[in-house]
Structure 1
Amino acid sequence: MKKTLYLLAILITMISITMSSCKKDSKENDAQDLTSVEESTIASETYFETFTDLSTLSAENDGLFGVSGSGFEIKNVAAAIGNSCAIIGISPQNNTWPKTLTVDFGDGCTYENVTRKGKVIAVFTDRFKNPQAKITVTFDNFYVNNHKIEGTKVITNKGKNEAGNYNFTVEVSKLKISTTGKAFSLSSLNNIEWKEGSETRTPGDDVFSITGTAEGTNSKGKAFSITIVKPLIKKVACKFIVAGSSAITSDSGTTYTLDFGSGQCDDKATVTVAGETKEITLHK
């Protein structure tokens, strides 16, 4: 009888340890998965930001590549991407292509509580709105707040779609975003539709829609994938994505739905997993 009780005690102890271990593993997996969700929101905002900056600079083409009677002219469009504290350079300053655009934020340029520093370098094969124009974007010691951005982005103008809107494919190769000793990486292939504001010179009325997929590795070394379920909507007048949703699947097989809302210009989104929804605050 004592032996039976002894064995039963051991069995109960083993079950308790196993359950405790499972709970611990589950919590660790949840934390790793949530890291993927958080970092994917940062990547989405960073992804959009570079594109909208270039479209703003290229508004009506003349905004960036104006030609005056005395030759090539760089017009005053810096305010749109950093309250005039960025220095914009174009080479060569003549009518030949390709052209290299350098946006230099120096040691720090703060606008609307976002600090940028370093350089964004974009090589244009043609004007931004011309069909088949290709823009290759790289970064030189470039930061958004405390996030360092590295990698290559290739934007290709695919002309207008059936709705009469400009369409661009955007391929991101080995985008790396790092901060304070940790980093995550991402590669993606997406389509961006310029839904509103393409025919005006005022960037504040621009609205973009993005679809596509991505995959990457979070800062804890865990793989994840992203599929845009409902097109993500970015209004240039708003700091964050205002609508749309993405499905983020971790290497553990858990899928999280990240919902940016229905159009409100705010810093809120929701994350849903296993029927439970939690509101989160977006940041850059």
Structure 2
Amino acid sequence: MAKVKYYYDADTLSYRKIAVKKGDYYKKTVFGILALFLSAFIGFIVFSQFIMSPRERAQKRELENLKLHYELLSKRLQESSSVLAQLQERDNNIYRTYFEANPISDEQRKAGFGGVNRYKYLDGFDNSTMITKVTKDIDVLSKQLVVQSKSLDEIVSLAKEKEKMLASIPAILPVKLADLTRMASGYKWRYHPILKIRKFHKGMDFTAPIGTPIFASGNGEVIRAERSATFGNVVYIDHGYGYKTIYAHMSKIKARRGDKVKRGDLIGYVGNTGRSVSSHLHYEVHKNDVALNPINFYYGDLTPEEFAAMQEAAEEEGQSYD
């Protein structure tokens, strides 16, 4: 029931009922309904900020899932970068040092990511900073992996070459230790038995019976197999890498010029040919055409005790056999 309103009439000194016009009543009703709708609309707008549609919920879950994957990806990138950094350190300080290769600088490993903004196309998104960072991290890692891969290819090539070099360097006795009568003369000044003067002896003399086998001390190619006035029947082997060996005073040459020989291959037999006073093998090692002390190259088949005994014998005074 609507409230009845009154007003005071001063002329009659009494209260009179206020008559409500029908038009006013409709206006109030309309304004009331409009106010109700406006309040409902505003309430919906405010409330909708806190209540999402199923599609919005799905998008939010997907975004949160992407952020989680981004964090996991970033962590894996950091772990991969750490492993790669350790490999790079070993590469520079161990592998490349061992094979006498220059280390790769950080500038070379990380070059190509400065200057022009190559990630500008990723700007303008809600998560542009995040996307740009992970993209750049992946690019840097990929570049470093390419550089490291090429470095390891080079190391493999150097290792193969090193293996070939190690097989070529003269590293064994040219006559088996069990076949030796004695080590007669070493790399030093000696009294020449025929010329009767002091002369530097550029090699080592191994006394052994005539016909004792002589072996190549390293892989190489026979470049001379001939008879000379001084060395008698002699074989020269070029081992590559600047190394050459000479085997003189043979009774018989088995190798021929142009033969490819391997360490331990039979190339001839001990004799007493040329300028020699007893059956023995005169053996020399040269590096870049400079004669070296052969005793420093017997690490391939001598024990420390045998090496010490041979070194002591080589230092004994006396004359050479050639």
**TM-score, with structure 2 as normaliser:** 0.27
**Structure with a larger share of its residues in strand:** 1
Larger RCO, structure (CA 8 Å, separation 6 or more): 2
**Structure with a larger share of its residues in helix:** 2
